[in-house]
Chain A
Amino acid sequence: MIRRNTIPFGPQHPVLPEPIQLHLVMENEKIIQALPAVGYIHRGLEKIAEKKDYIQDVYLAERICGICSFMHSQNYCQGIEELMKVQIPDRAKYLRVIWAETHRIHSHLLILGLLADAFGFENLFMRLWKVREQILNIMEKTTGARVILGVCAIGGVKRDITPELSEYILRELEAVEKQLPELMDSLLKDYSVKQRLIGVGVLPKDKAHELGAVGPVARASGLRMDLRETGYAAYGDLDFKMVVGEAGDCYDRTMVRVKELYTSLDLIRAALKRMPQGPISVAVKGSPPADEVLARIEQPRGELNFYIRGNGTRNLERFRVRTPTFANLPALLHQLTGCELADVPVIAICIDPCVSCTER
């Protein structure tokens, strides 16, 4: 006879460095129902943004989340630029792509490492994070900070990449790429890893669409959806191939991220090569007009939406953030139902959750 077990999974739980509670109802260790309790990390950022002026908000936006912080500032700046009808120089667009893609690499390596930790592969975790440090070095050298870069500004970017730096970046990327195959093989071909990933947390294509999944989660389920295809920043000038999976399980999500690492490496190289000379920013005067805009970019975790509404003053009327994890949560709940407790960390990490941006 089987009875129901109820346990809280989080908020203080070592596998989720971020506080979120999954309320799990299980039979033995099989999850019957999973519900999230959030709000542990809700800071009221949207309100703070209304109080600060719209330039200070760039720094605030960066701190929506520290992992792909650059992309938050990028999306915010692009939104304000659209609102204020500012044309930024081309070089700035390329620079934004470079930093955004380094962020994507660091974020993917980070989550792949945490995934390895989630299924108890400590060695792989350490090795992946070691590689990630090299990416952080690139960011530190080019922007002066390791994770929260602070280089994006309304009207362009704040720092330039000199030819020497560019060469340095290429060298580092080379070194990173050399270390990848071994680690990626462990992630994708190792027997024990495959045991833990294949067929776990399956999200069929139609479900993914219906539940509004985004990013690698959606792509792993076979949805062709990557906002970089819309060509914002300099993506329009750069070629890249979208990575899609089909099974929609944890293995495919891992595979998508692994392949995107390579895409990003190529994108950075291409951007460095084709980056035009010129200024890196334009001066922006005035305040955002009373209008509204929905700015979107593709983050490591998927589509990020900022709804920005100005009112003619230096303060914004409304700033709303819809992050990819917010969109992926319903899909997560769907995946958790019916899985084993042992798979909860794996599935949870596999959507690459970022609660801090979810709750702001």
Chain B
Amino acid sequence: MINLINSIFRKLTSPTDCLRYPFVKRELPEGTRGRIDIEIDKCTFCGACEKRCPSNALKVTRDPKSWTLNPYSCIICGYCIEVCPKKCIIAHKEHYSPNV
């Protein structure tokens, strides 16, 4: 107890540990998997990503050519990135942002 009281006073006199998130943004490490996106012009619409996505978050159509991601299904596993033959799917560092 005594040592905790000690450390309580230490905490009281030192700056907070808080990251102050919305005001200050954290430096995210390299390789962080955030939101998934595509460099659409490289894509061949082969559909490999759609087939492998464990969460059925992707929809690829050849005609018309479109690649659709449902961020509310994507589990950010990165499997699509691995399987894409063109390596055109990318994971941004920052997270998907909630909508209203």
Interface string of A50-61 (1 = CB under 8 A from B): 001001110110
> B96 in the interface, Cβ–Cβ < 8 Å?
no
Chain B contacts of A56 at CB under 8 A? 52, 54, 79
- Rounded to whole angstroms, the CA-CA distance of A159 and B29 in the bound complex is 14
Instruction: Give the interface residue-count category, chain B.
Output: 20 to 34
Instruction: Name which residue of chain B comes closest to A62, CB basis.
Output: B77
Once the chains bind, are B77 and A186 in contact (CB under 8 Å)? no
Which residues of chain A (59-90) have a CB below 8 Å from chain B? 59-60, 63
- Surface stretch bound by B, among A34-42, A138-146, A223-231: A138-146
Instruction: Name which residue of chain A comes closest to B55, CB basis.
Output: A59
Chain A contacts of B52 at CB under 8 A? 55-56
> B32 in the interface, Cβ–Cβ < 8 Å?
yes
> A190 in the interface, Cβ–Cβ < 8 Å?
yes
Instruction: Give the interface residue-count category, chain A.
Output: 20 to 34
- Rounded to whole angstroms, the CA-CA distance of A57 and B52 in the bound complex is 11
Once the chains bind, are B77 and A150 in contact (CB under 8 Å)? yes
Once the chains bind, are A140 and B32 in contact (CB under 8 Å)? yes
Chain B contacts of A141 at CB under 8 A? 29
- Surface stretch bound by A, among B2-10, B40-48, B61-69: B2-10
Once the chains bind, are A159 and B77 in contact (CB under 8 Å)? no
Instruction: Name which residue of chain A comes closest to B17, CB basis.
Output: A130
CB distance from A236 to the nearest CB of B (A): 30
Which residues of chain B (44-100) have a CB below 8 Å from chain A? 52, 54-55, 75-79, 82, 91
> B33 in the interface, Cβ–Cβ < 8 Å?
yes
> A28 in the interface, Cβ–Cβ < 8 Å?
no
CB distance from A315 to the nearest CB of B (A): 13
18 intermolecular pairs with C-beta atoms under 8 Å apart: A55-B52, A56-B52, A59-B75, A59-B79, A63-B75, A123-B4, A123-B8, A141-B29, A144-B31, A144-B91, A145-B32, A150-B33, A150-B78, A158-B82, A182-B3, A186-B4, A190-B4, A192-B1
> A185 in the interface, Cβ–Cβ < 8 Å?
yes
Chain B contacts of A145 at CB under 8 A? 32-33, 76
CB distance from B24 to the nearest CB of A (A): 16
- Rounded to whole angstroms, the CA-CA distance of A35 and B78 in the bound complex is 41
Chain B contacts of A143 at CB under 8 A? 31
Q: Beyond A130-B17, A182-B3, A190-B4, is A60–B33 a contact (Cβ under 8 Å)?
A: no
Which residues of chain A (271-325) have a CB below 8 Å from chain B? none
